[in-house]
Structures are given as C-alpha cells and as structure tokens.
Structure 1
Amino acid sequence: MRGETAAHMIRRLRQAKGWSQARLATEACRAAGLPPESLTRQDVYRWEKGKRTPREWLPFIAAALGVSAVELEQAAASNAQGANPVTVADFLPDADPLAPLKVRQGRQIGARDVTDLAGRVHGLRLADDVLAGGDLIGPALRELRSAVKLYREGSHTEEVGRALLSQIGELAQIAGWIASDAGRHEEAERIYKLGMSAAQQAGDNTLVGNLAGSLAYQYSNTGQEKEGLALARAALAQAGEDAPAKARALYLDRVAWAHTKANEPQPAMRALGEASEALAEDSEGRESPQYLYWVEAGELEVMESRVYTELKRPLRAVPLLRDVMTRYDATHTRELALYLSWLAVALADANEPEEAAATAQRVITLSADVASERTAERVKVVLHRLEEFRDVPEVREVLDEAA
C-alpha cells in the first residue's frame, strides 16, 4: 500500500497470515537462525505500535512475512520521516481491559464502596513509604483484581462508575510502582497501562499523567531510554498547563530523569529548574490530589542530586545527598539504601574512595533485608564503580566481603 508505514505493514501482513505477535517473533527468529527467545511478543507489539523500528530485524521479518526486504525498509524510512508526536494514547492497551460484562450480575455499587476503596488505596500508598515491593506485591495485586472485578461486574450510576475508575487508576499507580520495585517489570507495565486506561475513561488527565510518568520512569531505568523520554514528555503534555502545581513539578522531574538517562544534560537541567518553579506556585494554584502528598521541595532535591550523580558532577551531588540523608530515619530503610548508593557513587567520582567504601558498606547492610529489586541493582552499580579503587585497602575489604 502506497505510503504505508512499517508498523502498519507488519501488522497487516501478520494478520493476513493469521499469526499472533508471538508467532511472528518465532518465525523471525527462525529466519535469522537464532533461538526463539531472541525476540519476544513485546518486541513485535512495539514495532506494530510504531514505538520502535526493527532495524537489524527488518530482513528477517520480511522473510517471515513473505515480503521484499526493500519494500519493508522503504516503509520504515517513511515511518521515520512522517512520525507523529508520541502521545499517552500510543501506550494504551489495544483492547479495553475494563470493559464491563454484558450481563452484570454483581450488587449495586455506591459512593460508600468508592470511599472504602479510596481508604485502602491510600493505606497501601502509606505502607509503601516504609515497606518494599516484595513485601507488598501480594496485597497490592489482590486489591487491584478486586477493584477491577467490582467495576466490571457490579451495577452503578455513571457518576459512581467514573469515581470507581479514578480509584482503579490510583490503585494501579501504586500497584505498578510496587511491582516495579519488586523487579516484576512486565507485570508493572501491564498494571500501569490498565491504570492509564481507567484514568483516561474517568476523564482525569492529572492521574493519566501520573501513571504515564511512572511507566516512563520504569522505562528509563530498564534500558528503554528512548521510550522513557517520549512517554515522560507525553505525560507532561497530557496533564496540561492547568494541572496542579505539585503534579507539574513531579512530571517535570520525571522528564529531567528521562533526559539524564538518555545522556542529555542540558534538557535535564532545564526540566529540573522548571520543576522547582512549578512547585513554587503550589500555594497559588489548584488543590493537589491526595496521592501527591509526598511531592515537596525535599523530594525535588533528591532528584536533583541523583541527576548530578548520573551526569558525573560530584561536587554538586555530594552536598545535596548528604543533606537528603538527614531527612530519612531507620523506618525508611529502602530510601536510605537507595540514596546512599548514589552518594557512594558520587564520592567515588569525587576521588574519595575510603569514604565511598564506608558508604557502600552501609548500602549493603541496609539492603540485606529489603525485598526490593531496585536496592539490589543499586548495590551492583556501587560495587562496579568501586572496582577502579580495588588497590585501596578499605575498598578491597568491601569488595571481597561482597564477593
């Protein structure tokens, strides 16, 4: 088809063959002479959504689909030249995961049910302040399944249904965050997208932005920097200029982190400055949703210090991180371990290996009993950074004990 993009062509040809996305992944691997696990259904999904271009896989996809590689390459080039700006809608599930059952046999749902759910959601949010993902994943998933079932099977007015969708969106945000902290990234992505769909249907753009920004943050931290940056920007745009000040500050912070992980220092710095300006307007703007209770100047400082560490600016990062450490006590073990890990790296970058080693030891000790994949990954990052100073006795002792 003339003017057809690679995304459309791949989807059209796959569907013409009656193949699933998983089947196309398998057939492309066979054409390339690679093991089946070299490509996943999720890769094909991203190609068909236009979120990624197959590039080196193009000839093998063409072979699997029975089309000329040149034709597919031309479609890919056309897609790159005429791509539309990424929006949150590009990341929503293909089907509506919240579609009500045709015949509802559940009980009548009222405002009291929504209020009770809101209380449980906030309780889960407060629990996440002091507990790690591995401890909370079970209760979080049970609550989410129960809430979705309530919406799909129960009877309710349009107003109650909209309020219920908002609570499902809020629940999905914290459940997705918990799943991500537990290292269950694919599950977290599905949960975030469910929440985005619920918030979109509820007409709550601020909540859509929070969910999309949370997923963008996960993308940025799991090797999908391009998707993370695109979605972080889309989340900010979705929330709009009229979003509460705390919301804009948070979404700008995520944009800053996405630029940082994409190794784009200047845009990252600009976004940090804009986040601070947005938060300064908090007293003048709309009231912020309850779920943004934790967004304040200190949290922006945490992100600023992490950005400086990632960008190898230890002289700025170290004082900020030391100040941040004074705000967290032993009840916030995960946060202490995470922020100390950035301090250890910043100290190593500042050529202070002995102090970096002492800080790293604290990170390891704190992380030992925390069921968080994030802290486990940060321990690996810190130990890798210290390898440069293995000749320093204090560093060697920490590295040998960890080994």
Structure 2
Amino acid sequence: MHGESLAHMIRRLRTAKRWSQQRLAVEICRAVGVPVDSLTRGDIYRYEKGKRTPRDWLPALALALGVPLEEFEAALATQSVAPQTVDDFLPEGEPLAPLRTKQGGRLGMGDVEGLAGRIHGLRLAGDVLAGGDLIGPALRELRSAVKLYREGSHTEEIGNALLSQIGELAQIAGFIAADAGRRDEAQRIYQLGLSAAKQADAETLVGNLAGSLAYMWSNNGEAAKAVQLATAGLADGAPPKARALTLDRLAWAHTQAHEPQPAMRALAQAREALDQSDGEESPPYLYWVSHDELTVMESRVYTELHKPLRAVPILQKVLSRYDVTRTRELALYSSWLAIAYADANEPEESAATAARVISMSGDIASERITDRIQTVVERLQEFAEVPEVREVLEAVA
C-alpha cells in the first residue's frame, strides 16, 4: 500500500493472519531462533502505535509475516522523510475563502472581541475538563467562527483579526479533539488553524499551532514528522515564551523519535528562552507556560529515556505543588512517575502511584489518560508477583 506507515503495515499484516500481538511476538522470535520471551506483546503494541521503531527486528518481522524485507524498509524510509516548511503540512484547497456574496452584516471589532472572550472561556474550561466533555461545544464554536468570517462583510483589518481568533480557537479545539481520542479530526482542525494563522500573518500563532500538531503526532507514532513540523514552526522573532513552548514540544518529538541528544538540547534551549521571558509581552493564550510545565516535560523526557534517578525527584517535587483542580494533567504526569518508579525497581511505589492515577481518572473522558493507564499497567506486568502490584492489576482487570 503506497505511503503506508510501518506501524500500520505491521498491524494490517498481523490482523490479516488473525494473530494476537502475543502470537506475533512469539512467531518473530521463532523466525530467528531466539528465546520466545525476547520480544513481548507490549513491544508489538508499541510498534503498531508507532511509539517505537523495530529497526533491529525488521528482518525477523519480514520472515514471520512472510513479506519481503524491502517492503518494510520502504515503509521505514518514507516514515522518516518529511516536509521542511509549515506550508507542506497544510491540506489542499482553502476552507477559509470568504464567500463571493456576503450573507451577513458588517462586522466590527466588537465581533472580534466577543469571539475572543468565548475562546478564552473555552480555553479555561479545557484546563479542568476533559476532551470528551468539551468536544461538542468546541466544534460548534469553531463552525460558528468560520461561518462568521466567510459570510460576514468586513474590512481587511477585521478579517485578519477574525482569522487570528479562528487560529486560536482551532488550537484549543484541536487539543480538545485529540484529548477525546478523535485524532483525525484534531489534525484537520489544527490544519485549519494553521491556514487561518498564515493568512493573518500571525507568525507566533503559526508556531503554536505547528507545535500543538507536532505534539499530537509525537504521541501517535509519527515522531519523525513531528520533529520536522516543530522545527518548521520555530520562529526567531517569536516572543521568548512562545519559542520556549515550541522548543518544549520539539524536545518531546525528538524523545519519541529516540533522539536523546537533540531532545536534551531542545530542552536546554526552551529553558533558556523561558528565562528571557521576564518582562517580555506574550500572547494571552500562553498564560499556562511556566518553569514548572517545562520541568514536567524534562522529567517525562528522562522517564522515556529510562533515567529514573533523574526523573523521580523532579516529578515528586513538581507534583507536590501542582494545581489539584487540574485533575487530568495531574493524573497524566503522575503516570510518568509510576513508570519511573518501575524503572527504578521500586514496584511498590509504582503500584501506589498507579492506583492514584486510576482513582483520579475514573470520571475523566480523556483518551490520553486511557492510553497512559494501559502503558502503566503493561509496565507493571513485570512485577506481577509483588502483592501491591498484583492488587492494582487485579483491580484494573
């Protein structure tokens, strides 16, 4: 299948054989004559999610699935090639083209300010509510804003102001859609926002949207493409806080692409940029960007790189003072602490943290939390004989 990702190809071929992920792991090991526990179901899960690339296992995968190795190598090669500019990530056509015949009345700055107020309210709601709770209102607001721009009569100045607001709205609506597990829709929303921001010449907003889409791709097995987009979204003239956020997301993309040195370099640059933000004016939508948020990302990078001795103390310190009303983020960040404890061979602490994550997440309609709980449970399987761990696993089961 032309253009098919390696992750999708593995899943398609496995399901065609009606094999479970565990069966595929066993067949791969048998194909090259290594112990059958050399590869686990969790490894296959990560390959199919794109969270890890099976470079060393490609020949064995080809043997097990009966596919020429060249097909896997071709999929891997296309996966690592990505465009270099934000324009290359935009869809064809222009969904924001104003209608030739205006159906609405003359729009003014009051309309722009009213839209901005509603967007800010949605953004604040997104701090404490999950994507599943907000997706309906977010999509209705976005459709209404696009209709307002396309059908209303306005000057170029008002039109650009509306486009900027649509870009901001698309950023939060895209985040909400991704959190609700509607990733294809989130991508379309982010791309709509990028189109609007570019038409409005809002360079800083373009960078923010590019970083947001790159962050989603990083978490969805498209890390190589995410690195390219986040890099393309970096603007030298952006305010320090905006640049710090894009660099933060670039660090995460490098981490998911298994590029530790570039990840650490981007983290250092993000912290340097944030240190320069004191007294500098930043867009209001960056109100949440802080040293604590950068520190959380730093600890998550350390966790993904299996450096628990660095990750654990950082996470403990930040989470101890984290805003308890932001339950979703508290649960998400705590899940990395559970993984770090497991990597540090502290299964009891890992189990206790996992239990808190599960307890906090009970009523949160967030696909990201569901995925994180699955990841934590898989990591705990190694310690299934530890009573505290067994209790958590049985509760989840």
Q: Into which bin does the TM-score normalised by the smaller protein fall?
A: 0.7 to 0.9
Say what the alpha-carbon RMSD is for the aligned residues.
2.1
CA deviation vs aligned residue, 1:292-345 (integer Å, no higher than 9, x gap): 001111110010011011000001100111111123243211011101100000
C-alpha distance after superposition, 1:81-116 (max 9, x if no partner): xx8961100011200010111111111111000000
- Matches of residues 55-204 of structure 1 in structure 2 within 5 Å? 86-204=84-202
CA–CA distance in structure 2, aligned partners of residues 195 and 327 of structure 1: 34
Query: Any conservation in 2 of the 1:133–1:180 contact (CA below 8 Å)?
Result: yes
Rounded Cα–Cα distance in structure 2 between residues aligned with 1:268 and 1:127: 31
Q: What corresponds to 1:262 in structure 2? A: 257
Query: Partner amino acid for 1:224?
Result: E
Q: Secondary structure at the match of 2:128?
A: coil
Distance 1:145 1:85 in 2: 29
Amino acid in structure 1 at the alignment position of 2:198: Q
Aligned residue for 1:282?
277
Instruction: Give the Cα–Cα distance (whole angstroms) in 1 for the partners of residues 107 and 323 of structure 2.
Output: 41
2:57 aligned partner: none
List aligned pairs for 1:370-385, cutoff 5 A.
370-385=364-379
Do 1:121 and 1:171's aligned partners in 2 also have CA atoms closer than 8 Å? yes
2:83/2:89 contact within 8 Å kept: no
> How far apart in 2 are the matches of 1:341 and 1:185?
21
The corresponding residue for 1:272 is 267
Aligned to 1:223: 221
- Aligned equivalents of 1:343, 1:283: Cα separation in 2: 30
- Deviation, 1:145, is 0.3
- Name the TM-score, length of structure 2 as normaliser: 0.79
- Whether the 8 Å contact between 2:82 and 2:224 is mirrored in structure 1 is no
Contact in 2 for aligned 1:86/1:231 (Cα 8 Å): yes
1:155 partner SS? coil
Runs of 4+ off more than 4 Å: none
| Structure 1 CA distance for aligned equivalents of residues 365 and 233 of structure 2 | 29
- Structure 2 unaligned residues grouped into runs of 5+: 4-12, 17-70
Q: 1:344 aligns with which of 331, 338, 347?
A: 338
Cα distance in 2 for partners of 1:401, 1:165 equals: 49
Question: Aligned partners of 1:279 and 1:223: how far apart in 2?
Answer: 28
Q: How many Å separate the matches in 2 of 1:299 and 1:207?
A: 19
Deviations 1:141-191 (A, max 9, x none): 000000000000000011000000000000000000000000000000000
C-alpha distance in 2 between matches for 1:241 and 1:93: 25
* Correspondences of 1:362-377 after superposition (within 5 Å): 362-377=356-371
Whichever residue aligns with residue 127 of structure 1, its letter is A
Q: Which moved more, 1:150-159 or 1:324-333?
A: 324-333
Supply the distance in 2 between the matched residues of 1:327 and 1:183 (Cα, whole angstroms). 29
Q: Distance in 2 between matches of 1:84 and 1:289?
A: 29
Q: Separation in 2 of the partners of 1:379 and 1:316?
A: 22
Counterpart Cα distance in 1 of 2:190 and 2:83: 21
Conservation of the 8 A alpha-carbon contact between 1:328 and 1:335: no
Match of 2:151, as an amino acid? E
CA spacing shift, 1:349–1:84, aligned 2, 3 Å = closer
Of 318-327 and 355-364, more deviation after overlay is shown by 318-327
Q: Could you tell me which residue of structure 1 aligns to residue 237 of structure 2? A: 242
Question: Could you list the per-position Cα deviations for residues 229-282 of structure 1 after superposition, in whole angstroms to 9, with x for gaps in the alignment?
Answer: 11111111xxx2111000010000011000000011111000000000001111
1:2-17 matched pairs, under 5 angstroms: none
Distance 2:276 2:357 in 1: 36
Per mean C-alpha deviation after superposition, the further-off stretch among 266-275 and 83-92 is: 83-92
User: Which ranges in structure 1 are unaligned for 5 or more consecutive residues?
Assistant: 1-6, 11-31, 36-72
Q: Which residue of 2 aligns with 1:302?
A: 296
Mapped to 1, the partners of 2:82 and 2:374 lie a distance apart of 39
Label 1:194 to 1:84 Cα distance change in 2 as closer, same or farther (>3 A).
Answer: closer
